[in-house]
Amino acid sequence: MAQRRTTKNERSAKQVAFTRFMLIVAFFVLWIGGISARLVYLQVNQHDWLRERALGQRRDVKRTRIPRGTIYDRNDRVLAMSVNVKTLYANPMEIENLSDASRTISKVIGVNANKLYKQLRDAKDDGRKFVALARELDELAVEHINRSLETSDIKKNDTPKFLGLYWRDEQKRSYPNGPLAAHVVGFSNADGVGQAGIEQSQNDKLHGAVIRKLQERDRLGRVYDEIFSEQEPPKDVVLTISHSIQFKVEEALATAVRTSAARSGMAIAIDHKTGEILALANYPTFDPNKLNEITKDNLTNRVIQSVYSPGSVFKLVTYGSALEKNLITPDAMIDSGNGTIEVAKHKFRDSHGIGKVSYSKAMAHSSNVCAIKTGMRVGKNDFYSTLQKLGFGRPLGIELPAETPGIVRNPAKWNGDSLASMSIGYEIGVSALQMVSAFATIANDGVRVQPHVIKEIRHSDEIVDRGTGPEKTRVVSAETARSLRTMLREVVLDGTGRRAQLDGYSTAGKTGTAWKFDEATKRISSSKYISSFIGFAPAENPAITIGVIIDEPKIGGRDGGQVAAPVFHDIAEQVLPELGIAPDLPVEQLTASAEIVPAAAQIAPQILTSTEKLKTEAVATKALAEKPSETKSAAKASTKSESKGMTKPETKAAAKSVNEMPKRTETAPKPATLPRPTLAERPRTVVVSKGAVPAKQKPPIKNKAST
């Protein structure tokens, strides 16, 4: 019996041991299972988050930007450059008391303490190590912040001596000349990305390279590995723009727009032999240093982005097409009849019947009838072909963004009177650059050179890239171009462009005054004008082509001869000597009061009242009485004007507009010994001949270049 009891005790002990063993096994199974589940959760579900945390603790990425490329004018004057600045930033992970730090920092940098605290708190919760506090600070601002934030018990190798605050080196774009050539240069944003002008179109070349340095650290923060990556260094861009000429053009344009209370203005100066644009100006303009003042109105580069009806300046294309086809010669005669012509039930009129005149005189008088008759002889196919060769209807390829192609319809879509309308500059939309390029083609003996604003690209290794050169296209023969220059010279000598004549230089060009399309009424408005003058000098061997377009002048004269031609005069008389162009005419010239050419006759001569005509004739007679040898030419001058094609309702509207215009009173020119007046003050003068009276001394040309 004792033996049974012993056996039973042994079985109980084994059972207890087994049970204990199984409990231990179960515990370990559950423990290992829990750990495994946790590992699966961390490795699968939390993998990305944990990886970022790990990398953030042992890896630092530092980026250093090489300064953005510099933009120069043709004479290496800086137009845009990058300057070194600093950004103050915080690492919230190193700041223990965010509330106290926010109050201290906000007092120094001038920000709201509560907003700063929230910004730092959110960044710390997200594990971010960079929060920008103040950007684009110069050395003076940096020194002030360092002194204000210095904490004596903080031991740091760098400044500021404040826990969790650091400086980062950056660049800021600077434009030393302010608004000068703003529409050409453009501007870039805070991230160094071009937003307009050359800054935008050449952003890939100008963009500062980023040096990326990847540092691997151990648990004590010691760097044990570094990896560098670097992009191609930036390039410098040299423009064809001349700082001095650009200043003169902008000053003259701004004065004219303000004086005439115009909506806006455009001006271009181009070297037609090379296609290099020496000046390109818009008014109003903007200062790229003050981005908060930029608006849609002053940002638009109207010279290449806006379309307008050119009016009578487009007669260059009409007569050029006819000359190229040998249909006319400058001295051949054309009969304007009674000053009216009807095409497809649309009646076009001149200011007055000029009878039978030469083609040169027809252009000088800006006769609509003669231009339409000439255009009809050319035919729509040849007329359209000339348009295409001159570059109308497509972008010219200038290195600036958003260039408009203009509006030129295919001949298949023309109406019955379309050719007649286009012959005098309507039913077509052009940009100012396209129109000036057409005149530059004639100045360059019929060869169109692609206009451009980039002279060269300079690489960091001193390699200079000048490209393959501008595209050159023969549009008309040299003989046609010479004949057309002769006709344009007559416009300045004895036509609507007298106010463009220079002392000592022969001038050729054409005026234009076009009614604008009114979006509100959906028809042509007789009270809104685009007034222009485009020409070149010297006339026989041109050195420069200049175009001036004034949008909606309201005060004083409104036609191209009165508003735009004087601006051409003001620009050319300063630019030609600067270019070293020798005068081709005697400086002494006889001038007469501009009252000989009445202002109203330039806009709608056919609706002058009899009183206005008598007043005009009286002034002309008085001026001619003092110069009997010039009676014949001056008498013609008193009746010449630039005319428009009008329907009867449009004529009545124009009559009302002309009658409501303010009267201008002009005086005879000042004695030659007086200083040259400004553009706004100078009496408008017209040349009627030279050598008939004692010579007057040419007043000195005032240098208006900026310092």
Mean pLDDT for 166-173 is 87
* Average pLDDT score over residue span 393-400: 95
Tokens of 486: 């002769």
List the Cα angle 416/421/422 in 5-degree steps.
110
Cβ atoms within 10 Å of 348's Cβ, excluding its own: 24
Asked whether the predicted pLDDT for residue 636 surpasses 60, the reply is: no
| Mean per-residue pLDDT, 109-133 | 90
What ranges in 476-630 are assigned the alpha helix state H? 478-494, 560-563, 565-578, 599-603, 610-625
The 3-state DSSP class for residue 12 equals helix
CB 123 within 8 A of CB 131: yes
* CA proximity to 312, closest of 267, 273, 370: 370
Position 287 pLDDT exceeds 90: yes
Top-confidence residue, 370 or 620 = 370
* Residue 518: how many other CB atoms lie within 10 Å: 13
- pLDDT tens for 428-456 read 999 999 999 999 999 999 999 999 999 99
CATH fold match for the domains 60-239 and 243-514+538-689 = no
Q: Is 633 left (phi over 0), alpha (psi -120 to 50) or beta?
A: alpha
Q: Tell the CATH topology of 243-514+538-689.
A: Beta-lactamase (3.40.710)
Helix (H, G, I), strand (E, B) or coil at 282: strand
- Which stretch, 141-155, 169-183, 676-690, has highest mean pLDDT? 169-183
Rounded to an integer, what distance in angstroms lies between the CA atom of residue 510 and that of residue 492? 8
Domain ranges of the chain: 60-239, 243-514+538-689
**pTM (predicted TM-score):** 0.73
Q: At what angle do helices 368-378 and 315-324 cross, to 10 degrees?
A: 40
- Those residues whose C-beta lies under 8 Å from the C-beta of residue 246, and which sit 6 or more positions away, are 73, 180, 181, 278, 279, 280, 281
The confidence score (pLDDT) of residue 39 equals 80
CB 372 within 8 A of CB 423: yes
Output the six-digit token pair for 379: 């035919």
pLDDT confidence tier of residue 174, bands split at 50, 70 and 90: very high
| Token reading at 53 | 């945390």
Q: Which of 224-233, 340-349, 684-693 is predicted least confidently?
A: 684-693
CATH number of 60-239: 3.90.1310.10
Whether the CB-CB separation of 167 and 160 falls below 8 Å is answered with: yes
pLDDT-derived band at 275 (thresholds 50, 70, 90) equals very high
Tokens of 588: 């002494």
Torsion of CA 194, 200, 202, 208, to 10 degrees: 10
Q: Give the pLDDT confidence of 540-568 residue by residue, as tens digits.
A: 999 999 999 999 999 888 889 999 999 99
Q: What span, in angstroms and rounded, lies between the C-alpha atoms of 79 and 227?
A: 36
Q: For 35-49, 139-153, 369-383, which range has the lowest pLDDT when averaged over its residues?
A: 35-49
Cα(376)–Cα(608) distance, integer angstroms? 29
- What backbone torsions phi and psi does residue 451 show, to the nearest 5 degrees? -70, 140
Strand 223-230 and strand 447-449: the pairing is: unpaired
